[in-house]
Structure 1
Amino acid sequence: MADAVHGAPGAPEGPCEEQPFVATPDSGLTEAEAEQLTAEGKSNVDVSPRTRTVGQIVRDNVCTLFNAVNVLLAVVVFLTGSYRNMLFMIIVVCNAAIGIFQEVQSKRAVDQLSILAERPVRVRRGGKVVEVPSTGVVQGDLVLLSSGDQVPADLRVRSGKVVMNESLLTGESEPVRKGPDDRLLSGSFVTAGSCVGQAVAVGAASFAAQINDEARAAKPIESEIRSTLRFIVKLGTWVLLPVGTVLFLRSFFDGGSWQDAALTTVAAVTGMIPQGLVLLTSSVLAISTVRLAMQKVLVQQLYCIEALARVDVLCLDKTGTITSGAMTVEKLIPEPGVEREDLVSDLVTVMAANADDANDTARAVLAYQEEHALQPRVITRAVPFSSDRKYSGCLLETGGGLAVGAAQFLVPDRADALAAAEREAGACARLLAVCRVEGFDKDDRFTGVPVLLGFVAISDQVRDSAPATLAYFKEQGVGLRVISGDDPRTVAAIAQEAGVPDADEYVDATTLDTPEKLKRAARDCRVFGRVTPQQKRDLVLALQAEGHTVAMTGDGVNDVLALREADCSVAMAGGSDAARSVAEIVLVDDDFSHMPAVVAEGRRSINNLQRSAALFLEKTVFSIVVATLCIIVPPYPLLPIQLTLVSAAVIGIPSFVLALEPNHDRVRGSFLANVLAHAVPAALAISLGLAIVVFARYPLGMSAAQVSTIATCVTASVGLALVRCVSKPLNWLRRLLFWAMLAVVVLGVSVFGSFFEVATLTWPLAGFLALVAGAALALFFALFRRSVADADNPAGPYLRFARRVEKRTHDRRERRRALRRTGRAVRNLRSGGPEDEDADGR
């Protein structure tokens, strides 16, 4: 099996062995044989489900570090006999239950939509070509592949030649040529040509199933929200154990009972834990996936919703995105001295020769051939279309060859003829040159000097919804770039018709022969024509280097490289398997008009999560500050039952309500900076108020119950003020939320005061409470106004801090990428490496 990964440089060592089977005749397996093989477990069952199982979801939501900490704290409280102080476990249980419910709902929606988004696999059975799902392919099946198809199982080529892209497996984007007896690895995809391959390893035995995620060159998820949540979780984890331990010992040896010391320590520690924040985030994003699934939008990576909401440049592939992709032959323009019938015959001959690998253009010509009952000429060799060469062709039995493609690549010296044809056909028509050539070399490049026979004009209609969709992005301040392999003037005319701003600023990508020219064009131009797949990727990278968040839409194999590099990639379900495999969002019904809804859903999620995260982080910060202070002046002023009341009224309930509200405002600034700008002022104000209460305890002769009562009221007052501030602009629901939570707090400290262990205050102490609460609120509002301004200021402390955290995250991510690259290099050396490639480039 030395040739099992023939032509696959960078593949992990130890490729799987082929499974033995009886040789399949050219007619393929019969249906009875396929059913028997399926019953024997030799079908291509997907061993790696797209989403987590229900059991995994339950486990991941229940078996968490913070749940374990809370259970441990609940046991400690139980041992003290103060059972009501275990009420904080209700929040823990509710958070877990809500998280499980939302993720299961999201899983079901994604699984159902994934089935709709999949394209069937063509197999030959009993002499007939039938379509089966990828999981229906069995060992020994004859699978028919053409350009854009993804290999569903490990295949051995029986007939035909193809050019493969194995970048999803090896990380290398260089094309690999495969012919008879070569092996096609599952997970790779066809970029040119067509073939019949026999399934030699299916299901768990296939190559893709045996390599792990680290071996794949998968695009890492770039998520500021996830980085921020990890930072908050680490902050609480680092501080929780040492501060809690020291606080308990200090309170116990200060003369209090172990029960009192345990209760105050539990209150401090539970305050440091951002209960529900991670689950709230998962729930909000899960709800977003369900909402988008109802609009036939498949979200394949949860956090990509955030990236799309932050996008400020959208790169569009013309065909299938702006246009419908349903092309028709409009006009034939023969050269002087060439008969129209000869031009049609040559055109039809080339397209019919590559019918098994037909793209949208070829299908338009084939439909024209069928409509006019035209017969192609006899050929000896077909040359499939390549997005790099920009033409397809064939060799004739009578000698010589024909080529059809871009005039700039076939006859660059006939600009005069192209200009005349453009005037005759119209600006929006796409022109293909039909040429006679001497022949083709082994790399499918023409030999000799092509002779122009004429042009064929093919039109593609702009989608009815495209102008309104593009107008939305224009209103939202999102820059648009139209990138296509077609003639730039044609692309510019279509873009202008669709409403792309500054569509007259176009460039022919064949002139972008240096990195500097490409970077300048990415900044200054809006329409790009004659773009190769590598240039599409380079344009995305150039825009990202300018500081833009880039989204890319596409539907073909020529878009895959750019889709992988974009911050958020969107594919059409009707496009190639390869494009759907690398995209984070798939439009199941191929309707680009869903994009505004996707962006709006992302904005709702991020803006609302920023507000909710500020409420959670407020409690974490002030709990750490006050717990540290109480190590010096014990005990901690709050009880678990009182903190439960505050957490529910000013954090838990408001965060869930605000997180699910409609919010289509543009996402501004850094997530972490915005969260800190709202949370820190409230945390500092509460810390100051509680510090005053702690230090005034002995001078004023307050009991522990009176101290905790005043501390509860001060904390709730500032918390409610923060709820009101993050709820702006106020609407009826947000006003109702604020007054309802105020009523909950008032009832909790009055009517249900005994349950929450709230003591009755004398008038002097009530006045002291009003004074401390007023001071804390005054400090909060003063800090809040300054803090929000600093969050938007490039030199502001919050933004500087957020950038430092993001830089550290970026550096760690780059180190992980370097390790993956090193791992691939080591695997290359172990498996022979690229240096051992065959002379023919395989």
Structure 2
Amino acid sequence: MSTTDPELELAITGMTCASCAHRIERKLTRLDGVEATVNYATEKATVRHRVDVDPQLLLDTVAAAGYAASLPPPPGEQDGTDDAADAELALLRRRLVVASVLALPVVVMAMVPPAQLPGWQWLSLVLAAPVVTWAAWPFHRAAAVNARHGAATMDTLVSVGVLAATLWSLVALTVGTAGEIGMTHGFSLTAAGSDGLGNVYLEVATAVTAFLLAGRYVEKRAKRRAGAALRALLDLGAKDVAVLDEHGVEQRVPTDRLAPGTRFVVRPGEKVATDGEVVEGRSAVDASLVTGEPVPVEVVPGDTVVGGTISTSGRLVVRATRVGADTQLAQMARLVEQAQSGKADVQRLADRVAGVFVPAVLVLALLTLAGWLLLGGSATEAATAAVAVLIIACPCALGLATPTALLVGTGRGAQLGILIRGPEVLESTRRVDTVVLDKTGTVTTGVMSLVDVVAAPGEEVDDVRRLAAAVEAASGHPVARAVVAGSAAPLPPVTDFTSLEGLGVEGVVEGRAVVVGRPRLLAERGVDLPAALLAAVEAAEAAGRTAVVAAWDGRARGVLVVADTVKDGAAEAVASLRGLGLRPMLLTGDHARAARAVADEVGIEAGPDGAGVVAEVLPAEKLAAVRRLQQQGHVVAMVGDGVNDAAALAQADLGIALGTGTDVAIQAADLTLVRGDLRLAADAVRLSRRTLATIRGNLFWAFAYNVAALPVAAAGLLNPMIAGLAMALSSVFVVTNSLRLRRFR
């Protein structure tokens, strides 16, 4: 295949497990001139094909495999994929509610003898009918599709088990003695000599359906969120824009009508509509969307601006250079999508074993039936033993193993302020050895603060702070806001205020002409800095901080140092992560001096390769840094909060977002720390590992139970009624084991 061949993204519906994705991928790839990758988590197929391949052939191939596919909508049209996914999830929820409500009385009547009133078995049949047909339909349909292609999954075993228990009960009710009014369940332990047609097993069929629908619903809801990062990212762009015509008249139009070369206006506080070049005006542009750097970037005519960034002060006229899918915001969205698609799915253990376990159970049930008949057993005894094999093999405990532990673990996490996306996240936490921390907004507050005031010899610190804040109060620049917030005293009024874009501010306070700005501004005014103030400026800049100088009456009076401060508990969080065997690193778009100063403050040391801090990186470079670590053999966790972190969060083996950050980062991550407290990162890893260990324990005991019980059932030593009870007890064990996670501290 050539890299110039067209590429399509198909939306796939109907997949129930990872084997479905593999089957579709194989079918598509077998077509001449087609390469396909199917992602079960995102329910998308990325297909590269020769020009002469008809897209309809791709859709027909997916349909022939038993699934449905749709092409992306034409430009400008609404994609109905989200609506279809929401409808599918709503239908699954209705099936779960109906199954749960109807199964409960069926199970109670079958298991509690005092509840077995006259005719209870017929009432059970009425209640069970919708459960084993309509509610269990997804399992029956998947089993039929699998059978048509000569495959077997857990859906096959669920369907066969539910149908076997139901059909046996129907036969027992209509042909056997189970339909007699006044019948109650007996408790014969073995199939030999038991009245197999005197019992019904509808509680088994309904309970299995309800339990496994609950697991399917949890899984589907997690998958539904896979595309949320892209939607949140694209929503960051401006919706409309003021366009200038050839006469300079403004007209507001939707941003999708912009074309390269179009001139548009950006007022203070507005988003830049698309990537472009400034042709008029000056302003401080908040580019943290792209760089993560909290200090706005001063732009003048000739500078480039990125769509989605915000003009904080002046009015700009911008000429569009890139629009639509070519903008940097759209490219970031593609980075997130590619990183999510490239993440390997962790296939559940139950699905992996099903390929062997399910056919083996079906064969064992047939051999049991034939063996009993050949050895002289009655047809009732043979059928009873075979049904016992199918019932005891019903994967009720297997189906509960993951969702119950996940529900309890995620519920406990929510109480602690930790949100876990799904079971694949837990697998990642076990293997992680390196944790990459974004700086701005993650390790630091992301807000500029006044951290120091140095007065010139003979001056008072309070005077420097008060007069500088009085002038800065008339400015909306983030540095000015930090200076004002750092002054507790009442501020005198300012007159003759002037903002000097990119340099500073000036005004008259208490009869004094006060200038506050960069050292360059004072140099232009012919004001020299004394040695003490010059040293303060150099020290601040060496530490990666921002220094502004205050002067009045022609003399420099003091230096005010502004910086993005380290969050409370950040150093403790780094120490905790190190205690879990993880190597912390700092990754930032900020300059190297600021990054190194923060790393030293929180205790991040340079590793053996000297790469403890990676600074001055753009979003694509953050993504590349994570990939580079992965290529070196590391399993990487990424902690971030900004849009510029989204692609790296999606690429990392474990993405951890701060809940105080942007929706894009949260949706791209695997774990979310709701309170934005970095100390929760270590707790999140520990809780995830504990939950994974519980899931593995559940799966082990569920399989061990099946393996041990199957020979007993095949030998006729287990009545199907007792098999159903044993299956229920195995489910109780799994649930009880999962509930231990509520005690996590």
TM-score by length of 2: 0.52
Counterpart of 2:564 in structure 1 is 460
Counterpart of 2:735 in structure 1 is 656
- Structure 2 vs 1, CA of residues 608 and 586 (structure 1 numbering), >3 Å: closer, same or farther? closer
Counterpart of 1:562 in structure 2 is 648
Counterpart of 1:267 in structure 2 is 388
Question: Any unmatched runs of 5+ in structure 1?
Answer: 1-7, 20-41, 128-136, 151-159, 166-177, 193-207, 334-350, 380-401, 405-418, 435-454, 508-519, 667-842
Shift of 1:472: 2.6
**Conserved? CA contact 1:604–1:663, under 8 Å:** no
Counterpart of 1:425 in structure 2 is 540
| Aligned: 1:541 with 2:627 | yes
1:722-765 deviation line (CA, Å, top 9, x unaligned): xxxxxxxxxxxxxxxxxxxxxxxxxxxxxxxxxxxxxxxxxxxx
**Conserved? CA contact 2:448–2:562, under 8 Å:** yes
Alignment of 1:190-201 (within 5 A): none
Shift of 1:220: 5.3
Find the partner of 1:610 among 686, 689, 696.
696
1:325 counterpart SS class: strand
- Structure 2 vs 1, CA of residues 579 and 431 (structure 1 numbering), >3 Å: closer, same or farther? same
d(CA) in 2 for partners of 1:293, 1:232:
32
Counterpart of 1:90 in structure 2 is 203
Shift of 1:88: 5.8
d(CA) in 2 for partners of 1:223, 1:300:
13
Give the residue type in structure 2 aligned to 1:652: S
| Aligned: 1:281 with 2:281 | no
Give the residue type in structure 2 aligned to 1:53: L
**Conserved? CA contact 1:571–1:580, under 8 Å:** yes
Give the residue type in structure 2 aligned to 1:554: G
Counterpart of 1:693 in structure 2 is none
Alignment of 1:386-397 (within 5 A): none
- Structure 2 vs 1, CA of residues 314 and 101 (structure 1 numbering), >3 Å: closer, same or farther? same
2:446 counterpart SS class: coil
d(CA) in 2 for partners of 1:547, 1:43:
39
Superposed CA RMSD in Å reads 5.9
Shift of 1:229: 2.0
1:515-565 deviation line (CA, Å, top 9, x unaligned): xxxxx73xx543333344444334423433454432101123432332122
Give the residue type in structure 2 aligned to 1:303: E
Alignment of 1:66-77 (within 5 A): 66-77=157-168
d(CA) in 2 for partners of 1:315, 1:250:
61
Find the partner of 2:726 among 635, 641, 646.
646
Find the partner of 2:74 among 9, 13, 16.
16
d(CA) in 2 for partners of 1:186, 1:294:
42
Shift of 1:101: 6.3
- Structure 2 vs 1, CA of residues 465 and 52 (structure 1 numbering), >3 Å: closer, same or farther? farther
Sequence identity (%): 24
Shift of 1:285: 1.5
- Structure 2 vs 1, CA of residues 480 and 248 (structure 1 numbering), >3 Å: closer, same or farther? same
Give the paired residue count: 494
- Structure 2 vs 1, CA of residues 536 and 11 (structure 1 numbering), >3 Å: closer, same or farther? same
- Structure 2 vs 1, CA of residues 648 and 605 (structure 1 numbering), >3 Å: closer, same or farther? same
- Structure 2 vs 1, CA of residues 663 and 567 (structure 1 numbering), >3 Å: closer, same or farther? farther
d(CA) in 2 for partners of 1:108, 1:304:
15
d(CA) in 1 for partners of 2:731, 2:213:
17
Give the residue type in structure 1 aligned to 2:731: G
1:496-528 deviation line (CA, Å, top 9, x unaligned): 433x3xx3x438xxxxxxxxxxxx73xx54333
Shift of 1:617: 0.6
Counterpart of 1:593 in structure 2 is 679
d(CA) in 2 for partners of 1:463, 1:236:
52
1:388-446 deviation line (CA, Å, top 9, x unaligned): xxxxxxxxxxxxxx999xxxxxxxxxxxxxx977862287x424699xxxxxxxxxxxx
TM-score by length of 1: 0.47
d(CA) in 2 for partners of 1:188, 1:100:
42
d(CA) in 1 for partners of 2:201, 2:720:
7
d(CA) in 2 for partners of 1:548, 1:605:
23
Give the residue type in structure 2 aligned to 1:660: L
Shift of 1:264: 0.6
**Conserved? CA contact 1:328–1:458, under 8 Å:** yes
**Conserved? CA contact 2:660–2:675, under 8 Å:** yes
- Structure 2 vs 1, CA of residues 580 and 187 (structure 1 numbering), >3 Å: closer, same or farther? farther
Counterpart of 1:56 in structure 2 is 92
- Structure 2 vs 1, CA of residues 54 and 48 (structure 1 numbering), >3 Å: closer, same or farther? closer
Give the residue type in structure 2 aligned to 1:267: A
Find the partner of 1:249 among 370, 390, 397.
370
Shift of 1:656: 1.0
1:761-817 deviation line (CA, Å, top 9, x unaligned): xxxxxxxxxxxxxxxxxxxxxxxxxxxxxxxxxxxxxxxxxxxxxxxxxxxxxxxxx
Counterpart of 2:340 in structure 1 is 218
**Conserved? CA contact 1:312–1:550, under 8 Å:** yes
- Structure 2 vs 1, CA of residues 110 and 16 (structure 1 numbering), >3 Å: closer, same or farther? closer
- Structure 2 vs 1, CA of residues 95 and 644 (structure 1 numbering), >3 Å: closer, same or farther? closer
Counterpart of 1:809 in structure 2 is none
- Structure 2 vs 1, CA of residues 662 and 298 (structure 1 numbering), >3 Å: closer, same or farther? closer
Find the partner of 1:47 among 83, 86, 92.
83
- Structure 2 vs 1, CA of residues 494 and 52 (structure 1 numbering), >3 Å: closer, same or farther? farther
d(CA) in 1 for partners of 2:541, 2:256:
52
Counterpart of 1:189 in structure 2 is 329
d(CA) in 2 for partners of 1:625, 1:576:
55
Give the residue type in structure 2 aligned to 1:74: A
d(CA) in 1 for partners of 2:391, 2:327:
47
Alignment of 1:686-725 (within 5 A): none
Find the partner of 1:481 among 585, 597, 600.
585
d(CA) in 2 for partners of 1:489, 1:538:
21
Shift of 1:616: 0.8
Shift of 1:368: 10
Shift of 1:483: 1.9
